[in-house]
A = this chain, B = another copy of it.
Amino acid sequence: MKIEKVNITEKLNQIHDLWNPRIVGELNGQHVKLTKADGEFVWHKHDNEDEMFLIIKGNFTMELRDKTIEVKPGEFIIIPKGVEHRPVTDGEAHVLLFEPAGTLNTGNIKNEFTKENLQKI
């Protein structure tokens, strides 16, 4: 296996769409992903996967059913399996995700936001 470092900004520069995570790393059956986001995502949950959002840039808010948490660059939040959540941004935001390989971005929902067969970059 070739071992190389990954530069987050360089990978983000290759992404020209929204809410479409790219796989940038894999370890222990987990994927490291990067996505650009803007606006309101869809309410959803993951029945079997915890999900971590590390904010790289932008104004990002995680809406939960009982509270809303603003997550700033340099901060992360972990959403446990089964918890309904909705990411919302004010303008473009850049997010690093850690989650099990195969996690569907819209969890239990399938709609126009759903992305399958994610690209590795």
Contacts and interface: CB of A to CB of B under 8 A. Distances in A.
A4 interface: yes
Interface stretch (A13-21, A36-44, A45-53, A106-114): A45-53
Contact of A76 (B32, B52, B78): B32
A71 interface: yes
A78 B30 contact: no
Given A27-B98, A52-B32, A3 B79 contact: yes
Chain A binding surface SS class: strand
A30 B98 contact: yes
A8 to B, nearest CB: 5
Interface string A74-113: 1111111001000000000000001110000000000000
12 contacts: A1-B80, A3-B69, A3-B83, A5-B70, A5-B71, A6-B75, A6-B76, A27-B50, A27-B51, A28-B99, A28-B100, A98-B98
Interface of A: 1, 3-9, 25-28, 30, 32, 49-52, 62, 64, 69-72, 74-80, 83, 98-100
